[in-house]
Amino acid sequence: MTLMKKFFAQTKKPEGMLGKMMLGTMNSGHAKMADWGMSHLPGTGIAKAADLGCGGGRNAGELLKRYPDAHVTAVDYSHLSVEKARDYNKEMITEGRCRVLQGDVSELDLPEETFDLATAFETIYFWPGLERCFAQVYKILKPGGLFMICNESDGTDATSLRFEKIIEGMKNYTTEEIGAALKQAGFSKIQSYHHPSNPWITVLAEK
């Protein structure tokens, strides 16, 4: 595997020195897309949120700003991501408004029917079976809770499809494929949004 492929493979699960380098780019590199995605969230009514596949922790931090009375649980299966996210959100952790856990979205060890919101930014590409993982998210949401997915790829753009060949285990999904998997997991009231000038997508689903 070339060095380039090894580096981009770190988007799946950051490890070692290359993983640290990749995490260093994630928070800033995805910020505009993530903020656009969050613009579709409700302005109020969120007391507990879970950011799944939290990466470097920036988006968990933005959720804490957006909902100043909320508590955010951030989860990632990379220990490097957990360390980075904890450092990024250390003030909020000290204040008791945030926790960062290492965990697997396909077997979420979180209390059922607890969260008003779950988010997944730039991460479902690597989830091991959308229906299974979405069912895990469904389980932790309260009735009426929201699940937001935000991706840089709409599943058809050429650049992202090339990355599928570079990064082992990566799969880009269309809004239709995401919506079908959400319905299979039990979600309803599914809405999708496409950025007017980028291949970014946001999908919102209600339990």
**96/166 Cα distance (integer angstroms):** 40
Among 10-24, 100-114, 122-136, 159-173, the range scoring the smallest mean pLDDT is 10-24
Q: So what's the pLDDT on residue 18? A: 47
CB 115 within 8 A of CB 91: no
pLDDT of residue 1 exceeding 70:
no
Class of domain 47-206: alpha beta
Of the candidates 101, 90, 81, 75, the residue with the CA atom closest to the CA atom of residue 22: 81
Domain boundaries of the chain, sorted by first residue: 47-206
Of the candidates 121, 125, 87, the residue with the CA atom closest to the CA atom of residue 202: 121
**206/147 Cα distance (integer angstroms):** 6
Return the CA Rg of the chain: 16
**Which residues share a beta bridge with 102?**
76
* Tokens read off for 200: 């970014």
Percent of the chain whose predicted confidence (pLDDT) is above 90? 76
**What is the pTM assigned to this prediction?**
0.89
Q: What is the pLDDT of residues 60-69, one digit of tens each?
A: 999 999 999 9
Q: What is the pLDDT of residues 41-52, one digit of tens each?
A: 999 999 999 999
**60/155 Cα distance (integer angstroms):** 25
Q: For strand 201-206 and strand 141-151, is the pairing parallel, antiparallel, or unpaired?
A: antiparallel
**26/85 Cα distance (integer angstroms):** 11
Q: So what's the pLDDT on residue 159? A: 80
